[in-house]
Structure 1
Amino acid sequence: MAGSGKNEEAAAAAAPAQLFKDCWGCRAVSGGGLIGAGGYVLAAARRVMQRGAPPGLGAVAQIVFGLGLASWGVVILVDPVGKSHPK
């Protein structure tokens, strides 16, 4: 029974990873937080542009970063990896 110890350790290591993938509340909070952070960054970039200043490199970088944060939040909420591989 020397091989069964490794199987038990592998199952114990995989259990916490599986636990967090099924937590809808965790995904909703983190995904919503990332979408909110992305919206905040986008609003800050738009505030500078609404003052009449031409969009510079900093404003463009803020817009790209804000869109990246928001899209990351959507990916966490939708969870395409978990749905593409049924159990």
Structure 2
Amino acid sequence: MASPPPPPPAAAAAALKDCWSCRLVCGAGLLGAGGYVFASARRVIKKQGAPPGMGTVAQIVFALGLASWGVVILVDPVNKAQPK
């Protein structure tokens, strides 16, 4: 009695493309996480009153990456393209 083989990874990716609520939750979560990380980096900059250090700049870049990833999931530019 062998268990059935696991579904291919493409099946999980297809579920995210078809499910609007899944995309909304994931995209909003990533946007929120990016906003939180960015706000915490800004808080450090305001406390120090000096130019930001390398770690703070890296934190801001990471926050922008999270937020961008969230926007890409929400907008879904891959499925919008029409084949010619």
Settle same-fold status: TM greater than 0.5.
yes
Aligned to 2:28: 32
Give the partner amino acid of 2:19: C
Aligned-residue sequence identity (percent) comes to 71
- Residue correspondence of structure 1 range 40-79 to structure 2 within 5 A: 40-51=36-47, 52-79=49-76
TM-score by length of 1: 0.76
Per the TM alignment, residue 28 of structure 1 is displaced from its structure 2 partner at its CA by 0.2
C-alpha separation between the residues in 1 aligned to 2:63 and 2:17?
25
CA distance in structure 2 between the aligned counterparts of 1:65 and 1:16, rounded to whole angstroms: 25
DSSP-derived class of the 1:28 partner? helix
Aligned residues: 75
Identify the residue that residue 6 of structure 1 maps to in structure 2.
none
Structure 2 spans left out of the alignment, 5+ residues: 1-6
* Structure 1 residue ranges without an equivalent (≥5): 1-11
Q: Give the Å deviation of 1:17.
A: 4.6
Distance 1:25 1:19 in 2: 11
Structure possessing the higher radius of gyration over alpha carbons = 1
Distance 1:80 1:74 in 2: 10
SS of the residue 2:70 aligns to: helix
Amino acid aligned to 1:46: R
